[in-house]
Amino acid sequence: MKLSNELYDFIKKYGLAILVGFAGFIVVFGEQWGVPYAEKISATVLAFVEWILYVINHSSKEYFKDKQIVSSVNNYDTEDPNEGIG
């Protein structure tokens, strides 16, 4: 499943922050205001956030599947950096 760049960016930047903030808000103020099942609501929202993270991760893997990515670990300089010192 590939997400469009705009949707991916929106979800990653705003959607996750808003949902996590909402879950924290419910936990903190839900008990004070007498919101029934505040902890369960928060846990459900956070479970939804985890699912969104899975979708984003899967989409990212699909996006990079066809692209060749060269790891900087494989492109290191083999010369001794301390050579000539001392």
pLDDT by position in tens, the chain (length 86)? 777 888 888 888 888 899 999 999 999 999 899 999 999 999 999 999 999 999 888 888 877 776 655 454 445 555 666 666 65
- Number of domains the chain contains: 1
> Residue 69 belongs to what H/E stretch?
none
80 belongs to a structural domain: no
Q: Please check whether residue 30 lies inside any domain of the structure.
A: yes
Count CA within 13 A, CB hemisphere, residue 48.
15
Domain membership of residue 84 (yes or no) is no
The answer as to whether 75 is a domain residue is: no
Note down the domain range covering 16: 5-66
Residue 8: exposed, middle, or buried by beta-carbon count in 10 A (0-12, 13-18, 19+)? middle
**Residue 36 belongs to some domain of the structure:** yes
In a domain, 54, yes or no: yes
Q: How far is CA 6 from CA 49, 57, 62, in A?
A: 19, 15, 16
For residue 72, tell me if it sits in a domain: no
